[in-house]
Amino acid sequence: MDIQAALKKGQLILKNNNILSAKLDSEILMSEVIRKNKKYIVLNLYKEIEKRELEYFINLIQERAKRKPIAQITKKKDFWKYEFVVNNNVLIPRPDTEILIEQALKLVKNKNRLQILDIGIGSGCILMSILKEKKNFIGTGIDINSKSLQISKVNSHKLGINNRLKLFKSNIDNFNTGKYDLIVSNPPYIKTNDLKCLEKDIGFEPKQALDGGLDGLSEVRKVIHKSSVLIKKNGYLIIEIGFDQKEKVKKILLNKGFYIKETVKDLSNHDRCIVSGKI
């Protein structure tokens, strides 16, 4: 079978399973199987693929047909300027979260040797993207899940920043180490009851990274409280929030002695990030 026929076959299976991005996903998985980029695929549509490649391709298509996210099948996801290793123990980096990097870089433009803390580091995409841009910053990442810390460790080595990063397995309440110039966090902020209404694909991601309790804010409150203790004078906290949480989170921040520097919308024009500071 040639590449084009295999692509069509994959696309059809995905379409029959109501995957909207059937064509794109089929191409991405083909590219994964034959280890060539999209350009190669377009230029070699009539090239035969080996039987075992076809079998592997159909296997991957079948995983995707069951709604497993592409990033979990290929075990990687591009975020900011880098490629991160992911698996089902970490939240897949979202393009919207890149807003946090933009805001962080704006704040620390002329700064040197800052200490940054990421609460709930997951894959590491937030903290590590900042560390890559700022060569003399030092990072600390905590996560409650040791399996996700394994992934952040892998990513820190892959990106060559492991010598500037400390990782701790800790729940937020028990972490009391250090003082930080900048704290970043994308905590779980989805209401428990809303979790089941989300797209099926999201069911493959760790619930712990998404579930924000009954009102969606139970972890956000903890992050803000802990940040108020661990932040240095004149430090900043940048936090990702749900589209309808801006006012509530602002209130929590003000209560803990932060001032609101900026709120930022995501690509779909939803409130997605609050930048706050401590005097």
Q: Is 129 helix (H, G, I), strand (E, B) or coil?
A: helix
Q: Is 13 in the site for ligand GLN (CB under 6 A)?
A: no
Residue 127 to residue 141: CA distance in whole angstroms: 8
Q: Is 79 in the site for ligand GLN (CB under 6 A)?
A: no
- The three-point CA angle 218-262-179 to 5° equals 60
Minimum distance of ligand GLN from residue 46's CB (angstroms):
40
What angle in degrees, to the nearest 10, is found between the helix axes of 246-255 and 218-230? 30
Task: At 274, give phi and psi (nearest 5°).
Answer: -120, 130
Q: Is 93 in the site for ligand GLN (CB under 6 A)?
A: no
Nearer to ligand GLN by Cβ, of 10 and 242: the residue is 242
Site string for ligand GLN, 160-199 (x = CB under 6 A): --------------------------xxxxx---------
Beta-bridge partners for 139: 116, 165
**Which helix (H) or strand (E) is 100 found in, with range?**
helix 98-107
Nearer to ligand GLN by Cβ, of 24 and 202: the residue is 202
**How far is residue 94 CA from its own chain's centroid?**
5
Q: Is 274 in the site for ligand GLN (CB under 6 A)?
A: no
Q: Is 94 in the site for ligand GLN (CB under 6 A)?
A: yes
Nearer to ligand GLN by Cβ, of 47 and 270: the residue is 270
Contacts with ligand GLN by CB under 6 A lie at 94, 186-190, 202, 210, 240
